[in-house]
Structure 1
């Protein structure tokens, strides 16, 4: 069942280029990042990741959503071409700042519960909705990394708003400052994700959970999500500051060296001195 074959879902999702939509259950929409480039968040996907939650929120036919990545990869993070454009162009920076803000606040404010299914690499901008999902399920093979400071910008996106709440400040600082990788099992152990399952069971488990949510009492579930997400709304100023500092970093020398090092497949040589 998909958006084109089920008439009641009409054309709301017809124009999405990088997000593949299907309906594994009558009232469960599945959103799959799919662009053939390790599901990296390029410019079209980045915009769509903010808009999709508004559409799902407004769709009376949806009671729950699954969010995942195509194939064996959740998402490789921000597309390097997009990052280069953010560094080079002021207007692109402003547009991406607004989109990054929309991705975070729109999934938080979406009334429908969201279940993420995370396997393989899950990095940076592509990781945002995976961690902000109401119930996050990772496979044991998942490789989670925030990635921002390794690139040379502050950990903006979703990090400051939710990591300390999920896994505590000590673990959040360790993984966000150093950009160390977490396995799905370690992410579950420290509380960063809701649960970890075998890779072969991931999609079925996500559908099971989403179906239970879709079949449950809708006002009770949605109001519980709304109430719990007030913890995240209270952290809004921390998120706003982190996102602003991330995009300030896109104007500086560290991210230029970080991006070039990625492209050259070498260790970055960041400037040794900082006036802060």
Structure 2
């Protein structure tokens, strides 16, 4: 589950995935993109993994695409392959894995790096982190589902301005905009992320996965379709071990021991 460009460890039912190209601010090349996809697939299939944290090693979360790769003819995959084989599958896997995924933004998140973070279920950041829709600075359009998620998170007008102007958004401003969940001080960042992730891993993760499916479908469903899906998935959730354990623990006035099924 690891490669030179991706580091993975599993502790207390949490998979910690770290982008590991710190010398280039964790910018993506083909090897790292494909390795991240494999890692996400492995985490999805591993029943011991009940929550996932995505972060970066070094000073940055992710600076987006490694421009050296796209400006070196011998290794340049071309933008169609980069999008269709690198970034689009990463976004789809993040959204389709029915386990909670936390983006722990430890530094700058730019371009595709910012949008990969925003595709996660919960985004937390260190107080010194920043988010930049950097595409317009080099004559490109936003990708990695940025044009899908960012307007839904902060509104059309603000998203349009950030994408066209390429303004840097501080972590604190990101919270105020509703773009991310919380900001933590540098000296407590790792401990706070661990607290969030391990709390998720101890929760009824079957229900969290179904909630994620509902949120995904809410992006395109009509009200009637969403109500019907809520009914179907509530029936599925109510037949789970975790529901029975949660209700029993409530009646018995004890802490529930969820298993994620």
What TM-score comes out, normalization by structure 1 length?
Answer: 0.74
Tell me, what secondary structure is at the counterpart of 2:131?
strand
Give 2:193's aligned residue: 206
Q: CA deviation at 1:153?
A: 0.9
Verify: 1:84 aligned to 2:71, yes or no. Answer: yes
Tell me, what secondary structure is at the counterpart of 1:156?
coil
Q: CA deviation at 1:32?
A: 0.5
Higher relative contact order (CA 8 A, sep 6+): 1
Structure 1 distance, partners of 2:26, 2:133, is: 16
Q: 1:130 to 1:185 in 2, by over 3 A?
A: same
1:151 to 112, 130, 138: 138
Contact 1:50 1:104 in 2 (8 A): no
Verify: 1:32 aligned to 2:18, yes or no. Answer: yes
Bigger Rg, structure 1 or 2: 2
Verify: 1:112 aligned to 2:99, yes or no. Answer: yes
Give 1:175's aligned residue: 162
2:215 to 228, 236, 241: 228
Tell me, what secondary structure is at the counterpart of 2:52?
strand
Q: CA deviation at 1:85?
A: 4.8
Give 1:17's aligned residue: 4
- Structure 1 residue runs of 5 or longer lacking an equivalent are 1-12, 235-276
Q: Give deviations 1:221-253, integer Å, cap 9, x for gaps.
A: 11111111223566xxxxxxxxxxxxxxxxxxx
Tell me, what secondary structure is at the counterpart of 2:103?
strand
1:96 to 73, 78, 82: 82
Give 2:32's aligned residue: 45
What TM-score comes out, normalization by structure 2 length?
Answer: 0.78
Structure 2 distance, partners of 1:125, 1:49, is: 14
Structure 2 distance, partners of 1:51, 1:127, is: 21
Structure 1 distance, partners of 2:97, 2:199, is: 18
Q: How many residues align?
A: 219
Question: What is the root-mean-square deviation of aligned Cα atoms in Å?
Answer: 2.0
- Structure 2 residue runs of 5 or longer lacking an equivalent are 222-261
Q: CA deviation at 1:191?
A: 0.6
Q: 1:96 to 1:39 in 2, by over 3 A?
A: same
